[in-house]
Chain A
């Protein structure tokens, strides 16, 4: 056994060894997301930049796809991380899981290289199967779609079989059922239809029901495990709250899908359904506020991993503001008529994805790092703690700055392009040329660089934090894991 503070795989169980592979790729893809986002942002400021070499459409596509895939890698890694701890036995089918990791990673690399090398082509079956399927967020060609389904099925097998053979906890039960939905819903985005309304109808099943239902439940499972690990909260409490959260999320989130059906050619009753359930969607977040205050009162925030807990807190705030406040501001159809698809949506999307998902995956990076270094001290007085604090600050402030900048631009777009110019083609260009829009895009770029600086610091911190630490991790007075 290596000295505490040294990265040593002997400190990890089989599932956790696989998890750190997923985390490593996730960090690399997070970096790619930022690089392509910065390039796309620069093209807003100077449309000639890289025109014909690396077009905006490609940059934006890689930026968004990298986000989906790095979060997916983060979620899969986090699930493998907790699997043996929860089930109490080694991962069933781990060799297959390892093989699939390499297949998945290779497939992602090939898809990205093809995106970059083949930027234009015919809109026929060969493009759909080999190059690009053309559906925003899930542009991966059909062969990769099938590959993703196979990979997720193997991942599901690992999880379900391990829980079936070992201890079946509440977290395990919710996670297993959620993965069935995660896999099943992806199928809805795979078939081709020439009718754009029908296509969008099913496409939203993947996008909305992943993001506002299955992913939310998945991070609920991860949060439950994270709270037991960092704060020592008892299993019975986190699992009871996990069930409550699942009920609230599914109760409001599934038919909240309706707010995406307002303007795609679906019947008018979707105004009613979408409006009603969208009004309900913030309730789980308000519930979370009450429970957070209650928990902080009972545990006094004593924890064994300061960076992880800080990111968990960032998750709670980010989820509340990004999904709750930013979502509800423009979700009712009476105002969404003007904001849908403008920089408003981008502002909400950035805040919600980062706040609800990226933050929690980063918290798991720190949980993993602590154990990988031999379960070393990561509480107060940690050497080099400035790096994680600055990374946390720069990433969050950078994101908030980008979000506010896009909000200003989106406000201007919804007024001028949509309300005054009536969503005309001329209105689109008038709005794009307006100083408020242009200034918003400049500020977005400035804060984008701040965010990128935060990412560099985060990577540096993940490579070095705890290296010189020899003290064992703080022990909870009320161990919550078992």
Chain B
């Protein structure tokens, strides 16, 4: 069974849920931009956005009582792992799907940084 959000936590619940998606998008955006433009100094900012996502997920999990059961705690863990790895995975897919397009070009912006 679920435990509903307390009345005093309504705003935090909505706000933190929105911040989960926005921080996730900002992390993905900065991650991709740092690699496309070869600006590694932006990468720490991307991970800062991910930290914002972690904080938002923890706040959401607390106010929505997600830590009360094992299943919802597992969802929290999966969300954190999923959002961390998704931009990496999608980047690999981008590089793979565009490989032919840039095979004859100087290996610059689209190369995977190791």
Chain A residues at the B interface, C-beta cutoff of 8 Å: 234, 236-237, 240-241, 244, 268, 271-272, 275-276, 279-280, 282-283, 285-287, 289-291, 293-294, 297-298, 320, 324-325, 328-335, 337-338, 411, 414-415, 419-420
Q: How far is the CA of A82 from the CA of B18 in the complex (A)?
A: 37
CA distance A276 to B78 in the complex (A): 10
Evaluate contact between A279 and B18: CB separation under 8 angstroms. no
Give the residue of A244, A285, A335 whose beta carbon is less than 8 angstroms from that of B5: A335
Specify which of A244, A271, A332, A334 is in contact with B93 (CB 8 Å cutoff): A244
* B residues apposed to A, CB below 8 Å: 1-5, 7, 10, 13-14, 17-18, 20-22, 24-25, 28-29, 31-33, 36-37, 60, 64-66, 71-72, 75, 78-79, 82-83, 86-87, 90-91, 93-94, 97-98, 100-102, 109-110
User: Could you say which residues of chain A place their CB within 8 Å of the CB of B110?
Assistant: 294, 297-298
Q: How far is the CA of A332 from the CA of B31 in the complex (A)?
A: 28
| Structural contact, B32 and A290, CB atoms closer than 8 A | yes
Nearest neighbor of A243 in chain B, beta-carbon distance: B97
Residue pair B28, A294 in contact (C-beta under 8 Å)? no
> Contacts A240-B97, A334-B2 known; A325 to B21 CB distance under 8 Å?
yes
Instruction: Determine the main DSSP class of B at the interface with A.
Output: helix
A479–B66 Cα distance when bound, in Å, is 51
A289:B28 contact, CB within 8 angstroms: yes
Sampled A-B contacts (18; CB under 8 Å): A237-B97, A271-B1, A275-B72, A276-B75, A285-B21, A286-B24, A286-B25, A293-B29, A293-B32, A293-B36, A294-B91, A298-B109, A332-B60, A333-B2, A335-B5, A335-B10, A337-B4, A419-B10
Q: Which chain A residues border B91 with CB–CB below 8 Å?
A: 290, 294
A324 contacts B36, CB within 8 Å? Answer: no
Let me know if A334 and B36 touch, CB within 8 A: no
B32 touches A329 (CB 8 A): no
A236 CA / B99 CA spacing, docked (Å): 11
Neighbouring B residues of A293 by C-beta, 8 Å: 29, 32-33, 36
- A334 touching B4, Cβ below 8 Å: yes
Q: Which residues of B contact A335 (CB under 8 A)?
A: 4-5, 10, 13-14, 17, 64
